Amino acid sequence: MTLSATLIEQFVTDGFVKLEEAFSREIASACRDILWRDLKLSPDHQEEWTQPVIRLGMYADTPFRTAASSPLLSEALDQLVGAGRWIAPQALGAMVVRFPVGKPWDDGWHIDASFPPPDESLSPDYFKWRVNVASRGRAMLMLFLFSDCGADDAPTRVRVGSHLPMAQQLMRHGEAGISLTDLAAEGFESSADCDIALATGGAGTVWLLHPFTVHAAQAHRGTEPRFLAQPGLVPKAMAGHHLSPVERAIQLGLGQ
């Protein structure tokens, strides 16, 4: 299988695993070409890069679907989430392009929300979306690198093992969960002492993060823009299944 038993246990305790060469550099390049087109910018005209970060939506073009359907990635998700327990993405997003220009506005520590508030029609604001201890609506956070990303190229910062205290924090809010706004107000001090890993890698790398793993952006100090997609993985409920590594990690955090 793609992941050894050691790597699976590392995911349970650390909250992430790195898949190198999950898809080809040629596919990554084709994805970048499409994103450059929609950015209306050029890789050859650095004077046009005036914003530290630009976000784009979902993409279902062939190169993105090819990256999302990587056999290596599918095998890893089967191992961590469970075979038949996740819905294969038909598109990739949201796209985050970071440029070596200034300080970003979105570099705070956080986890991602996964389901809408009780009355979604009244709250289109994503910061009112919620997350609960069962990770309703999200089985994984995935970081697709479409460009080479070294330590200076604004790699996502990841707090190692932060998903464990986050499980305890979310447990206090029960099934209803908590909104991103309220979670930010509570803060993420419980993981402040965690070691930091950087989501670096060559184009074609995919990082798989536990849904509760605390992470943050940072300023770009390199020379070439960094292209990344950060889609969630939608779970599929199945009766009578064994606990997946994602679920075991939550139980570990809760001391069960």
Bridge partners of 16, per DSSP, are 209
pLDDT score of 215 more than 80: yes
What kind and span of H or E run contains 248? helix 245-253
Instruction: Name the token pair of 87.
Output: 């819905």
pLDDT at position 122: 55
Give residue-wise pLDDT tens across range 16-63.
999 999 999 999 999 999 999 999 999 999 999 999 999 999 999 999
Q: How many domains does the chain have?
A: 1
Taking the model in full, what pTM does it have? 0.96
Cα 46 to Cα 48: distance, rounded to the nearest angstrom: 5
Give residue-wise pLDDT tens across range 143-196.
999 999 999 999 999 999 999 999 999 999 999 999 999 999 999 999 999 999
Give residue-wise pLDDT tens across range 96-132.
999 999 999 999 999 999 998 887 655 568 888 999 9
Structural domain span for residue 10 = 5-253
- Phi first, then psi, for residue 131 (nearest 5°) are -140, 140
Instruction: Name the token pair of 238.
Output: 């199945």
Residues 220 and 100: beta-carbon distance below 8 Å: yes
Residues 117 and 228: beta-carbon distance below 8 Å: no
pLDDT at position 123: 56
Higher per-residue pLDDT: 11 or 125: 11
Residue 155, domain CATH: 2.60.120.620
Average the pLDDT over 84-98 and give the result: 94
Give residue-wise pLDDT tens across range 56-77.
999 999 999 999 999 999 999 9
Q: Calculate the alpha carbon distances from 6 to 3, 32, 251 in Å.
A: 8, 34, 19
The shares of helix, strand and coil residues in the chain, as percent rounded to the nearest 5, are 30, 20, 50
